[in-house]
Amino acid sequence: MCRPDFFTVSYRINPWMHPEKPTDTLLAVRQWESLYRIYLDLGFDVRLIDPVDGLPDMVYAANGGFVIDNIAYGASFTYAQRQPEGPAYMDWFRANGFDVRVPENVNEGEGDFLLVGDTILAGTGFRSASNSHHELAEISGREVVTLELVNPSFYHLDTAIAVLDPQPGFVDPNIAYLPSAFDEAGLAVLRERFPDALLVNEEDATVLGLNSFSDGHNVVIASRAKDFERQLAERGYNPIGVDLSELLLGGGGVKCCTLELRR
């Protein structure tokens, strides 16, 4: 995770961002700390990367790369404003003993790559280029399934899909998703692979309810995503709500602030 010490909205690269609206960096830090504390209370070993002045989106650590089997596939950002984050995260991975692969293709890490069982669901359409999906398939030796995103408000796959059962080797892992974020081909793939998926409504998706973190039982979600919360509880998960309203001004939520380190 990356403390939002330099968080603000000074440019607009997604429809959530309004640079003319003021932001409250201290409130962002306080809200981020509540998420950090939830992870510590759940027993996670949370590592921190130093924030960099002038990189206000660095708090969205999920975009810093994709890590699997100790291999860190670096990010190469779509927009110039975020490009320096790629090398900053790769330096951190190297310093912390990961096998770093410098990307050849544009990709925004776990924003667009979601591990479900042994498969990686991969988003394209707004940020990550589809050739990065092939690159990651080669690097990881995993099946990578391309999904086209069609709604600019749900520009990263992790704003449109929540992985509920992330445990490796889990039989029939489930997900939750927002159907209208996908084209017909993508929907057909999701329906076929995840017949029991939770379908999340527009209202909950619009508070980035899907942008959540699950350990297979506890699911950390936006506290305003009430119907999603109800569905999770019905299926036996333990939803834990957190308010990241300030970070929503940058177009990110729980999952965006969280990069998973799979050794």
- Min separation Cβ 172 and ligand ARG, Å: 26
| 203 membership: H or E segment, kind and range | helix 202-205
As a residue count, the chain comes to 263
Closest CA to 259 of 60, 93, 29, 103: 60
- Number of other CB atoms surrounding residue 243 within 10 Å: 16
- Min separation Cβ 17 and ligand ARG, Å: 6
Residue 123 near residue 112 (C-beta atoms within 8 A): yes
- Min separation Cβ 238 and ligand ARG, Å: 23
Which candidate in 18, 156, 217, 257 is catalytic?
156
- Nearest residue (CB) to ligand ARG, 97 versus 113: 113
**Measured between alpha carbons, how far is 76 from 64 in angstroms, rounded to an integer?**
9
Is residue 18 flagged as an active site residue?
Answer: no
- Min separation Cβ 47 and ligand ARG, Å: 17
User: Which residues here bind ligand ARG, judged by CB under 6 A?
Assistant: 13-14, 17, 57, 60, 62-63, 82, 111, 156, 158-159, 250-252, 256
Which candidate in 18, 133, 217, 256 is catalytic?
256
Residue 244 near residue 251 (C-beta atoms within 8 A): no
- Nearest residue (CB) to ligand ARG, 52 versus 141: 52
Structure token pair of residue 77: 């950002």
- Nearest residue (CB) to ligand ARG, 138 versus 180: 180
- Nearest residue (CB) to ligand ARG, 65 versus 117: 65
**Measured between alpha carbons, how far is 127 from 205 in angstroms, rounded to an integer?**
19
CA distances from 159 to 90, 131, 141 (A): 24, 21, 25
Active site residues: 156, 256
